[in-house]
């Protein structure tokens, strides 16, 4: 399942997993309504029940231990085992988030996300965590916890859960519904086979093997995001997943974390640190929504809002405001329509039957009554927003009186693509709004000031910056040290590194214990794109390819006619006839000079064509196309 190192830096029985839930979810909690066959039956309300994963075999009899065995049992209970923390992704990139906690023979996993490919990965759809180090331990996995429903945290779940024997998955209602939907897209008819337990309340506590797990609220840009507390005798781990400090929330009180500072020591804070270098004050959701409402109210014609499909809460606010002022909303983009439909079925969003219309119905209403919310603000070629801008959309073309809003952040690496998209839109309408000129997006991630505030609130004994590019993790470490933390209590883990905690001793960092080679997904292929294939794609994308087809007699090796030349991505053959003919004659010369000595040794001729023609074409063009020789014997 190899692929490559990141470019930046380089169950015993499942019966032991006991989960306390607040409704009789049994082996699966499933939302109701629209995707009933895909997502399951309505949840059953009732008194508290205890979920226990079904055992794979009969449990051994419980005998009274002998004194020596009892002593060993006490040592284990008192923390004789070591706690290991290691990341299979997310420590040297944005995305591919996956963290493993191992205590004795018990394992739990937090998140299984995808990472989007770099520019030097042509044809790759996305990258997933490498779980090869867990495949021999999959019977020890007591559960997989999902902090929230963004793809960089749940996107790899269908593939990895299958590979790890479909362990129990735990999350809040919307998060599990989004995972089930993705599972159904991956393999139709398999979502109902997932073993799930819903976090019904943030007061809920669960037991997974020797791990005691609790939850706490966090602010993030998607509903049902939770932070996780993992308790063992060796340490208490506090992990908020992705988070922000919303000082001025639209509803309710601001979230603070002082209560986490009362948890047992040593406290290990694993803090997402994407904003470690952000010194500007974070734009609040209240400010963002006020600005978007103002634009909607004053728009002279239609208003087109490009955002992430996971911005369910923002879309909810827009729907409510549109209903209040009598405007119609058209949702466009498969993932957006699917996410909103799921949120409606779960009761997070009202039906808005008279407000939501199909994109094909927008021409039935006056332009100033129409709001379009669509995906693709990152410039994805086939996404709704890009098709609208490129006049490839069946129902919508931008007009001069339309207002276009980019209500999303720029994912690192997409800057150039988004800039081109903006330029195209400005040619169609001058009513364009984005974060450079107005606060129309509120990030779901904290700033450097927020990180300092949380460090002061929780007062951890150990600090592990996580879920960011490596330089951001280092900056978060430096920030913590400036705030008074000792350098030997702050650890920057690389993917694969293991941090080990033992009773009454300091944490020990062990370098690269787990395999974290890239596993790339291309279409239906998972992990079948090797380094060689990727390098070939890079060569073809940079200098193109040239195919040389030579027909030879099988007995003598003599050439039959002249070789055929085919160029793709190297030169335009009609405009470079002389170079094509020179290449043909050079190929003819190579084959004829090789035939007598080798008696039609096909491999020898191919290698000579590849090497000699490559040198010839480089002298002529200063480019190195991939040379593909094809020998046909007659």
In DSSP notation, 66-123 reads PHHHHHHHHHHHTT-SPEEEEEEESSSSSS--EEEEEETTEEEEE----BPPPTT-TT
Give me Rg for the CA atoms of the chain: 29
DSSP assigned state of 284: P
The better pLDDT of the pair 56, 254 is held by 254
Task: Extract the tokens encoding 318.
Answer: 């827009």
* pLDDT computed for residue 20 by the predictor: 39
Vertex 220 angle, CA 218 and 223, to 5°: 90
For residue 546, the SS3 value is strand
List C-alpha distances in Å: 536 to 400, 566, 598, 624.
Answer: 45, 17, 29, 12
* pLDDT computed for residue 54 by the predictor: 36
Residue 251 neighbours by CB under 8 Å, 6+ apart:
none
pLDDT band at 364; cut points 50, 70, 90: very high
Give 430-454 pLDDT, tens digit per residue: 888 888 888 888 788 888 999 999 9
Q: Is the pLDDT of residue 465 over 90?
A: yes
| Spatial separation of the C-alpha atoms in residues 408 and 443, rounded to whole Å | 8
* pLDDT computed for residue 462 by the predictor: 94
* pLDDT computed for residue 40 by the predictor: 39
pLDDT band at 595; cut points 50, 70, 90: low
Q: Is 620 left (phi over 0), alpha (psi -120 to 50) or beta?
A: alpha
| Spatial separation of the C-alpha atoms in residues 169 and 112, rounded to whole Å | 11
| Spatial separation of the C-alpha atoms in residues 371 and 328, rounded to whole Å | 6
Task: Extract the tokens encoding 132.
Answer: 């090869």
User: Is the CB of residue 369 less than 8 Å from the CB of residue 326?
Assistant: yes
* Residue-range domains of the chain with CATH: 14-279+444-522 (3.60.15.10), 285-433 (3.40.50.10710), 544-633 (3.10.20.580)
pTM above 0.85, yes or no: no
pLDDT band at 188; cut points 50, 70, 90: confident
Q: Is the pLDDT of residue 265 over 60?
A: yes
* pLDDT computed for residue 36 by the predictor: 33
Give 406-436 pLDDT, tens digit per residue: 888 777 667 777 888 888 888 888 888 888 8
What would the mean pLDDT of 475-501 be, rounded to a whole number?
92
pLDDT band at 215; cut points 50, 70, 90: very high
First to last CA, the chain: 39
Measured from the Cβ of residue 211, the count of other Cβ atoms closer than 10 Å reads 23
pLDDT band at 594; cut points 50, 70, 90: low
* pLDDT computed for residue 57 by the predictor: 35
* pLDDT computed for residue 613 by the predictor: 86
* pLDDT computed for residue 539 by the predictor: 62
pLDDT band at 9; cut points 50, 70, 90: very low
| Spatial separation of the C-alpha atoms in residues 183 and 178, rounded to whole Å | 9
The better pLDDT of the pair 51, 326 is held by 326
Beta bridge partners of 3: none
pLDDT band at 463; cut points 50, 70, 90: very high
| Spatial separation of the C-alpha atoms in residues 277 and 472, rounded to whole Å | 7
User: Is the CB of residue 100 less than 8 Å from the CB of residue 86?
Assistant: yes
Phi, psi torsion values for 108, nearest 5 degrees: -130, 155
pLDDT band at 531; cut points 50, 70, 90: low
* pLDDT computed for residue 379 by the predictor: 63
**What number of CA atoms fall less than 13 Å from residue 47's CA on the CB side?**
0
Alpha carbon 42 to chain centroid, angstroms: 29
Within 401-482, strands assigned E span 403-406, 432-433, 462-466
Please provide the DSSP assignment of 193-207 as one string.
Answer: G--EEE---TT-EEE
| Spatial separation of the C-alpha atoms in residues 492 and 85, rounded to whole Å | 12
| Spatial separation of the C-alpha atoms in residues 196 and 171, rounded to whole Å | 8
* pLDDT computed for residue 523 by the predictor: 59
Q: Is the pLDDT of residue 541 over 70?
A: no
- Report the mean per-residue pLDDT for the chain: 79
Please give the helix or strand (H or E) that residue 520 lies within, else none.
strand 519-522
Give 51-107 pLDDT, tens digit per residue: 333 333 333 333 333 334 443 344 434 446 889 999 999 888 888 899 999 998 899
Task: Extract the tokens encoding 145.
Answer: 């916890």
What would the mean pLDDT of 465-480 be, rounded to a whole number?
93
The least confident of 34-38, 472-476, 580-584 is 34-38
Q: Is the pLDDT of residue 128 over 50?
A: yes
| Spatial separation of the C-alpha atoms in residues 444 and 535, rounded to whole Å | 36
The least confident of 149-163, 323-337, 346-360, 546-560 is 546-560
* pLDDT computed for residue 49 by the predictor: 34
* pLDDT computed for residue 628 by the predictor: 85
């Amino acid at each position: 399942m190899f692929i490559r190192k990141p470019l930046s830096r380089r169950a015993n029985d499942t019966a032991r997993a006991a989960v306390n839930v607040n409704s009789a979810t049994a082996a699966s909690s499933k939302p109701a309504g629209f995707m009933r066959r895909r997502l399951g039956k309505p949840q059953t309300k009732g008194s508290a029940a205890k979920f226990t994963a079904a055992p794979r075999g009969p449990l051994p009899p419980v005998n009274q231990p002998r004194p020596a065995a009892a002593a060993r049992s006490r040592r284990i209970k008192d923390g004789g085992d070591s706690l290991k923390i290691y990341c299979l992704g997310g420590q040297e990139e944005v995305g591919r988030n996956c963290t493993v906690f191992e205590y004795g023979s018990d394992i739990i996993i937090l998140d299984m996300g995808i990472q989007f490919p770099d520019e030097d990965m042509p044809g790759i759809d996305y990258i997933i965590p490498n779980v090869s180090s867990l495949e021999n331990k999959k019977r020890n996995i007591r559960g997989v916890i999902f902090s929230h429903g963004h793809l960089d945290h749940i996107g790899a779940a269908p593939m990895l859960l299958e590979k790890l024997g479909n362990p129990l998955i735990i999350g809040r209602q919307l998060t599990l519904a989004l995972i089930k939907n993705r599972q159904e897209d991956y393999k139709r008819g398999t979502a109902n086979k997932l073993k799930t337990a819903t976090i019904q309340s943030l007061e809920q506590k669960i037991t997974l093997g020797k791990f005691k797990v609790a939850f706490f609220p966090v602010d993030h840009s998607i509903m049902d995001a939770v932070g996780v507390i993992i308790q063992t005798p060796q340490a208490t781990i506090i992990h908020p997943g992705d988070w922000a400090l919303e000082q001025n929330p639209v509803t309710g009180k601001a979230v603070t974390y002082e209560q986490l500072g009362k948890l047992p020591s040593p406290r290990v804070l694993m803090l997402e640190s994407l904003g470690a270098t952000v010194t500007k004050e974070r734009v609040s959701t209240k400010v963002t929504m006020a600005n978007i409402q103002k634009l909607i109210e004053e728009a002279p014609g239609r208003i087109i809002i490009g955002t992430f499909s996971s911005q369910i809460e923002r879309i909810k606010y827009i729907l409510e405001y549109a209903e209040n002022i009598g405007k119609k909303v058209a949702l466009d983009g498969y993932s957006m329509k699917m996410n909103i439909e799921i949120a409606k079925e779960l009761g997070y969003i009202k039906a808005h039957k008279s407000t939501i219309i199909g994109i094909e119905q927008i021409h039935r209403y006056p332009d100033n009554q129409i709001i379009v919310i669509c995906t693709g603000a990152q410039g994805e070629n086939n996404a709704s927003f890009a098709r609208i801008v490129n006049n490839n959309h069946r129902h919508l073309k931008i007009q001069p009186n339309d207002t276009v809003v980019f209500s999303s952040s720029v994912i690192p690496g997409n800057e150039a693509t988004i800039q081109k998209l903006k330029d195209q839109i400005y040619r169609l309408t001058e009513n364009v709004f984005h974060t450079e000129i107005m606060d129309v997006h509120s990030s779901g991630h904290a700033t450097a000031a927020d990180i300092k505030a949380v460090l002061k609130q929780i007062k951890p004994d150990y600090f592990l910056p996580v879920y960011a590019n490596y330089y951001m993790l280092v900056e978060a470490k430096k920030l913590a040290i400036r705030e008074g933390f000792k350098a030997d209590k702050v650890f920057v883990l690389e993917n694969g590194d293991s941090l080990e905690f033992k009773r009454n001793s300091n944490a020990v960092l062990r370098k690269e214990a787990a395999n974290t080679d890239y596993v790339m997904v291309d279409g239906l292929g998972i992990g079948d794109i090797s380094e060689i294939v990727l390098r070939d794609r890079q060569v073809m994308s940079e200098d193109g390819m040239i195919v040389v087809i030579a027909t030879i007699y099988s007995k003598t090796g003599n050439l039959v006619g002249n070789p055929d030349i085919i160029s793709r991505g190297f030169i335009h053959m009609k405009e470079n006839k002389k170079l094509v003919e020179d290449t043909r004659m050079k190929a003819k010369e190579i084959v004829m000079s090789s035939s007598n000595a080798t008696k039609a040794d096909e491999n020898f001729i191919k290698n000579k064509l590849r090497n000699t023609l490559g040198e010839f074409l480089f002298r002529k063009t200063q480019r190195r196309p991939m040379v593909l020789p094809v020998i046909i014997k007659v």
